[in-house]
């Protein structure tokens, strides 16, 4: 679209706004913020262009962070602004932004609003430590999220779900019924309008079909011994080797097992005095912390994926 027509579009739109329309928009947007995440080829003026779009339309910026990958020559940005006095209706912001700037600068972008509460499904197997930590944060009101269901291939943690009054769905998986059960799981997720999934030590491999349905929306956690200590007893193997660090990694799930974009990692030191049970305890404690941090960043819309990496904003 020619720049003259674009300017005319905005000018004409602003002239059409009556005082009553503005008052209605302010009532609609009261307390709501918009969050825009962007990456695009780095070039001069992008930061000013985006902030000008917000400022000239009456938005008040309350958060801005940006990063330039000098190797890839890619610009990353997260900006959040108040909509109370923003003159563009909430349901048309994306249309205006895409028309005016996104296509021009070859931007990949995502627009979110704080008045939408994402819906999170939790997948578990038998280990409860990550599940308890997330549900404690959820019920304490730390996260602006809904948990409509918990899915498990075992029945062991049903009582935990019932304690927190969350529907529990036992979907046992075997080699013979895996495809059928996953189809049932996908229907369940769709019925509950799930936005993203957290694998809280869910001991099943997620198929490509589900990954394609939820790209960069399935979060996993595992110990960071891989690939050094594989198998069912990594902590025992680490103990035998005499390792001095235990780590945990949270990442988005991709088709390549345990190799998706990393969201967060952390470590804890151990010594010769620690037993195998000490290692397991320290490792599980670290897992639940690292996973919850990753989930919180996802809920707060502070993660941008690019290729097989992430930019995680503060």
Scanning 30-128, the segments in alpha helix (DSSP H) are: 46-56, 93-97
Same domain, 213 and 306: yes
Write down the pLDDT at residue 170. Answer: 97
Give the DSSP per-residue string, 270-313: --TT--HHHHHHHHHHHHHHHHHHHHHHHHTT-EEEETTEEEE-
Structural domain span for residue 172: 119-312
Of 119, 67, 94, 104, the C-alpha closest to 309 is 67
pLDDT surpassing 90 at residue 266: yes
Same domain, 275 and 169: yes
| pLDDT per position as a tens digit, 57-103 | 999 999 999 999 999 999 999 999 999 999 999 999 999 999 999 98
Same domain, 59 and 180: no
**Of 113, 144, 162, which marks where a domain is finished?**
113
Same domain, 198 and 306: yes
Same domain, 73 and 96: yes
Of 63, 180, 75, 166, the C-alpha closest to 120 is 166
Write down the pLDDT at residue 27. Answer: 47
**Do you know the residue count of the chain?**
314
CA 43 to centroid of chain Cα atoms? 27
**Of 113, 145, 165, which marks where a domain is finished?**
113
| pLDDT per position as a tens digit, 146-203 | 999 999 999 999 999 999 999 999 999 988 898 899 999 999 999 999 999 999 999 9
Same domain, 14 and 38: yes
Check 65, 69, 258, 278 and give the catalytic one.
Answer: 258
Same domain, 207 and 108: no
User: What CATH number corresponds to the domain at position 138?
Assistant: 3.40.50.170
Q: How confident is the model at residue 258 (pLDDT cuts 50, 70, 90)?
A: confident
Same domain, 233 and 304: yes
**Of 71, 92, 113, which marks where a domain is finished?**
113
Percentage of the chain beyond pLDDT 90 is 78
Q: How confident is the model at residue 229 (pLDDT cuts 50, 70, 90)?
A: confident
The 8-class DSSP code of residue 125 comes to -
Q: How confident is the model at residue 226 (pLDDT cuts 50, 70, 90)?
A: low
258 is catalytic: yes
Same domain, 170 and 81: no
Same domain, 281 and 186: yes
Number of structural domains the chain divides into: 2
């Amino acid at each position: 679209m020619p720049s003259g027509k674009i300017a005319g579009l905005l000018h004409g739109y602003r002239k059409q706004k009556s005082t009553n329309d503005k008052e209605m928009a302010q009532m609609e947007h009261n307390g709501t913020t918009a969050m825009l995440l962007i990456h695009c080829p780095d070039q001069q003026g992008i930061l000013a262009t985006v902030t000008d779009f917000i400022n000239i339309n009456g938005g008040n910026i309350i958060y801005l962070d940006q990063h330039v990958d000098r190797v890839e020559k890619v610009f990353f940005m997260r900006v959040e602004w108040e909509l109370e006095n923003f003159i563009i209706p909430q349901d048309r912001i994306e249309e205006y932004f895409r028309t005016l700037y996104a296509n021009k600068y070859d931007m990949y972008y995502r627009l979110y609003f704080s008045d939408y509460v994402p819906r999170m499904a939790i997948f578990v197997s038998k280990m409860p430590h990550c599940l308890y930590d997330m549900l404690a944060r959820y019920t304490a009101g730390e996260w602006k999220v809904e948990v409509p269901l918990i899915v498990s291939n075992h029945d062991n943690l049903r009582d935990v779900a019932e304690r927190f009054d969350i529907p529990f769905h036992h979907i046992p998986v075997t080699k013979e019924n895996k495809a059928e059960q996953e189809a049932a799981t996908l229907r369940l997720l769709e019925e509950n309008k799930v936005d993203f999934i957290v694998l809280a030590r869910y001991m099943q491999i997620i198929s490509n079909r589900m990954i394609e349905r939820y790209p960069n929306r399935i979060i996993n956690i595992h110990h960071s011994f891989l690939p050094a200590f594989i198998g069912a007893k990594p902590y025992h193997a680490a103990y035998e080797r005499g390792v001095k660090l235990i780590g945990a990694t949270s990442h988005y799930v991709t088709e390549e097992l345990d190799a998706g974009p990393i969201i967060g990692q952390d470590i804890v030191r151990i010594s010769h005095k620690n037993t195998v049970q000490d290692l397991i305890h320290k490792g599980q404690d670290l897992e639940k912390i690292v996973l919850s941090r990753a989930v919180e960043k996802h809920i707060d819309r502070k993660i941008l994926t690019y290729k097989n990496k992430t930019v995680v904003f503060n």
